[in-house]
Structure 1
Amino acid sequence: MHTYNNNYYTATMNATAERAALTRHVQADVCIIGAGLAGLSTAWELLARGRSVVLLEAGRVAWGASGRNGGFVLQGWSEGLSAIERRCGPATAAALFKLSLEGVDSVRDMIARHRFTGCAATPGKLSVVRYEDGDNLKRVRDRMARDFDFHLDYLDRQAVQDKLKTERYFQALRDSHGFHFHPLNYCLGLAGLIERNGGMIHEQSAMVSVDSRDGRHRVSTDRGSVDCATVVYCCGGYGGPEFGKLHRAFLPIATYAVLTEPLGERLADVMRTTDAVGDNRRASDYYRIVEGDRLLWGGRITTRNLQDEKRLGQLLTADILDVYPQLRGIRIDKAWSGLMGYARHKMPHIGPLGKGLWACTSFGGHGMNTAPIGGRVIAEAICGETDRYRLFDAYGLQWNGGPLGPAAAQTVYAGLKLMDMFQETRSQRRATQNN
């Protein structure tokens, strides 16, 4: 039985009742498989367009990656913008970037319009570099303003160190459009909104099969079924073999997070900003202040989903002290892990799988803005409003490598980490010599 694990978000979640499992045969216009952020967003967009919806969830609402991530809601996709341009061309890349901004705005708007509680948005995110790269960051800033009308603020090393008390960072770009929040409470607010508007959500109701015949689909669970015209797969990193070719097109990638003890006055020795922070390494550190004086710190990307809380705490404590040695002796109150669904091309699977079958999944650790806009794009397509899903035509279902996929991905990550270490060591040595 899949349920909520012990982490910061579940310790501070809004009260929510367990939803009944599906135990009978029901009918709906659309059956959505997975009640994480993608499934919930798709359901709301369809309900708003007059469709009847049933969501089937193997565990609890947003118990997976949607409810235990860093809580960053930012522009862009998991794949970099330059790589998208090379693959799709400038026009499609610009449209996809604009779509990602719409995703950020949609979440912010939902919180305000429907007065979701416990997930207020805190604006700002600093993207810091761990080696000397100021000239390149200025070029990025200028290009984003020129080509995409998106404005970032450049911070030199002194400005960065005024906010973040560490020698590890050099320069930064600040995104004032993005924000950070409590993702689990947002999903719970969305689930309540869906139910108040006639949508049905069944927890502990894993899909076991989808049978298609005569333009209709029957989605079966162990104890019930849904007869529908349309199915949307929103399975995420926890999807199993029952998802067929979709399951063979993504890798479950683990990331880790911890919550520190209250820092009190020590916080001022570390951070003088409420901005979220992420560095430029391939397996980056990302963190933010929660509850006024605690650090929620995440990082490390691996194909091995380590569950040992004590070991997780030790690993990420070492990462924290590498950046902020002044926090030596810090206590970790909670540690947890989560699985993200990554496609090999690092873009989500948003589009048709067959007649009346759609995918909205594989957001690759960048789902807080892309899952909501993915849900909107799919709803538009189902309702015949737009064909914006065609923006993702270049990103199909690439085989993930099967049993060898995780080992290959781990080898790639190991090589990228060595590149990070080389660049950082070189810059730190130069900075020491200049001083």
Structure 2
Amino acid sequence: MSIIQSCLLPVFSPPLHSTPSIWLDEPYTPREPLKGSHTCDIAVLGGGIVGVTAAYFLMRKKIGKIALLEANTIASGATGNNAGMLSVDRACDYGRWCDTPERRNIAKTTLQISERTQRLIRDIITEHDIRCDYKISGCAWVPTDDAGEQAASHSLTAMQEDGFSVLPLTQDTLKALYPHARDLYPGYYFPNHGELHSARYVRGLAEVVEREGETIWEQSPVHAFHPHNNGMRLQTAQGTIDCGEVVLACNAYLSKLLPSVASIMRTYRGQIIGMIAPQESLMRMPLCSETAGKRPIYYGRSLPNGKIIFGGGRGEDQKTEEAHAFDKEAMEPVQAAITSYLHTYFPKIAALPVTHRWSGTMAEPKDSMPLIGPSGCFPHTTIIAGMCGNGMGAWGTASAEMGANFVASDRCKAPHPLFDPKRFGL
């Protein structure tokens, strides 16, 4: 190979030693794969927060037999590789969305949907006693410079004017919440936001669905689906299932089934580091933060098991994170960006021993709005995907509810037009 040829090759940093996420690093026995020929009324593809929750809401509607198919194991995708923070979308840049009444209304709608997700998750956990370390801890938005502080003040005022429960975060409160942090600026916080063990929550919800008599198959990737006998037929390596309606809730992996999706939806990774924490409390509330008044965003929280996790930094190498969207290995320079952020603002946390490094795949449509509604390309098909990197806390549960309501209404009760997949010709 010539020197010129070698210079033209993309240069990627080598993978670091990766581990399962903290949520997936515990014993789990997957269900059997789909084998043979089966039928159901509604088939849901995807065993993450969206798919399992959609199956749950459809089960509650009692409109027919539900079957869920997961390519790997329940919660093994983005759901089991996030930070377990129930944080809302648009909170970080609400003020920037207030430049026109139309954009402000979009931001308000988004935040309202996010808050509905929070309430729905809390109610589901309470009703079914799902053991997932859930607690209402609040979530802080913390800038790191003067420009960020001004933007946060603008966002805080706008959100309060629009009726959201958000409070100012003073320097005294910052010192109490993060006693060993430095150079953080006043921002705001949402007192009613929660946190949980994301894999235990979704796997617990899957058990609820199964106890009600619905069927779940794991290790069953669907490689084809097509119209069949006034419904749809799904094919896996070992079997088929015929259904009246199919719900595509596989988020980033939707592009594997529908290649046309790749042109309207970016897929990328988020990376996280897990560390052993000392006995003293270093973080008393989960936080989100951005540097220099721009992305990348960083986020972190303490866990009940004596760990601290921090993630973010994707903007430091967006091209690599998109090129390696479906890779599991943690990679530089994003891991280095997370470490650098910690050294700058949380030096005591930066010195902690690292036990886990992992990544998760996310998907975001071009307009940063999820896809919820009927497919214009396939009959009897509803799409719930593209959770914009915030499926756990903001979009997933409320989107699943909207999608389930649409299916249960004989496709008459369409979700909000902002989310209609037909806006991209899907």
**TM-score band, normalised by shorter chain:** 0.7 to 0.9
* Range moving further from structure 2, 87-96 or 156-165: 87-96
Give structure 1 stretches of 5+ with no counterpart: 401-435
Q: State the SS of the aligned residue for 1:59.
A: coil
Q: 1:382 offset after TM fit, Å? A: 0.9
Letter in 2 for 1:331: P
Partner Cα separation in structure 2 for residue 90 and residue 323 of structure 1: 32
Say if 2:322 is the partner of 1:303.
yes
Give the counterpart of 1:117 among 104, 127, 131.
131
Say if 2:227 is the partner of 1:205.
no
Q: 1:394 offset after TM fit, Å? A: 6.6
Quick one: structure 1 residues 85 and 374, their matched pair in 2 at CA, closer, same or farther if it must change by over 3 Å?
farther
Give the counterpart of 1:184 among 179, 196, 199.
199
User: 1:307-326 residue pairs with structure 2 within 5 A?
Assistant: 307-309=328-330, 316-326=338-348
8 Å Cα contact 1:347-1:395 kept in structure 2: no
Say if 2:215 is the partner of 1:196.
no
Tell me the equivalent position of 2:307: 294
Tell me the equivalent position of 2:399: 374
Q: 1:122 offset after TM fit, Å? A: 3.6
Give structure 2 stretches of 5+ with no counterpart: 1-17, 315-320
8 Å Cα contact 2:166-2:191 kept in structure 1: yes
Of all paired residues, the percent bearing the same amino acid is 19
Partner Cα separation in structure 2 for residue 45 and residue 85 of structure 1: 37
Tell me the equivalent position of 2:85: 72
* Range moving further from structure 2, 212-221 or 41-50: 212-221
Partner Cα separation in structure 2 for residue 114 and residue 348 of structure 1: 28
* C-alpha distance after superposition, 1:278-303 (max 9, x if no partner): 10341211000013542111112232
Q: State the SS of the aligned residue for 2:367.
A: coil
* Range moving further from structure 2, 56-65 or 238-247: 238-247
* C-alpha distance after superposition, 1:262-321 (max 9, x if no partner): 3223x4xx43x2x11110341211000013542111112232446555867655333321
Partner Cα separation in structure 2 for residue 228 and residue 195 of structure 1: 18
Tell me the equivalent position of 1:389: 415
Give the counterpart of 1:154 among 168, 193, 204.
168
8 Å Cα contact 2:330-2:358 kept in structure 1: yes
Q: 1:40 offset after TM fit, Å? A: 0.4
User: 1:202-351 residue pairs with structure 2 within 5 A?
Assistant: 202-265=217-280, 267=281, 270-271=282-283, 273=284, 275-280=285-290, 281-291=294-304, 293-301=306-314, 302-305=321-324, 307-309=328-330, 316-327=338-349, 329-351=351-373
Letter in 2 for 1:357: T
Partner Cα separation in structure 2 for residue 76 and residue 325 of structure 1: 28
Partner Cα separation in structure 1 for residue 418 and residue 191 of structure 2: 27
Partner Cα separation in structure 1 for residue 205 and residue 108 of structure 2: 29
Tell me the equivalent position of 1:97: 111
Say if 2:49 is the partner of 1:49.
no
TM-score (norm 2): 0.83
8 Å Cα contact 1:313-1:332 kept in structure 2: no
Partner Cα separation in structure 2 for residue 219 and residue 30 of structure 1: 11
CA RMSD of aligned residues (A): 2.8
TM-score (norm 1): 0.81
* C-alpha distance after superposition, 1:400-419 (max 9, x if no partner): 9xxxxxxxxxxxxxxxxxxx
Letter in 2 for 1:338: G
8 Å Cα contact 1:16-1:188 kept in structure 2: no
8 Å Cα contact 2:36-2:238 kept in structure 1: yes
Say if 2:48 is the partner of 1:36.
yes
Quick one: structure 1 residues 153 and 117, their matched pair in 2 at CA, closer, same or farther if it must change by over 3 Å?
same
Letter in 1 for 2:302: I
Letter in 2 for 1:387: K
Tell me the equivalent position of 2:120: 106
Q: 1:73 offset after TM fit, Å? A: 1.1
Partner Cα separation in structure 2 for residue 381 and residue 189 of structure 1: 25
Tell me the equivalent position of 2:383: 359
Quick one: structure 1 residues 247 and 39, their matched pair in 2 at CA, closer, same or farther if it must change by over 3 Å?
farther
Quick one: structure 1 residues 172 and 89, their matched pair in 2 at CA, closer, same or farther if it must change by over 3 Å?
closer
| Count of residue pairs the alignment pairs up | 389
Partner Cα separation in structure 2 for residue 146 and residue 322 of structure 1: 34
8 Å Cα contact 2:313-2:337 kept in structure 1: no
Quick one: structure 1 residues 394 and 188, their matched pair in 2 at CA, closer, same or farther if it must change by over 3 Å?
closer
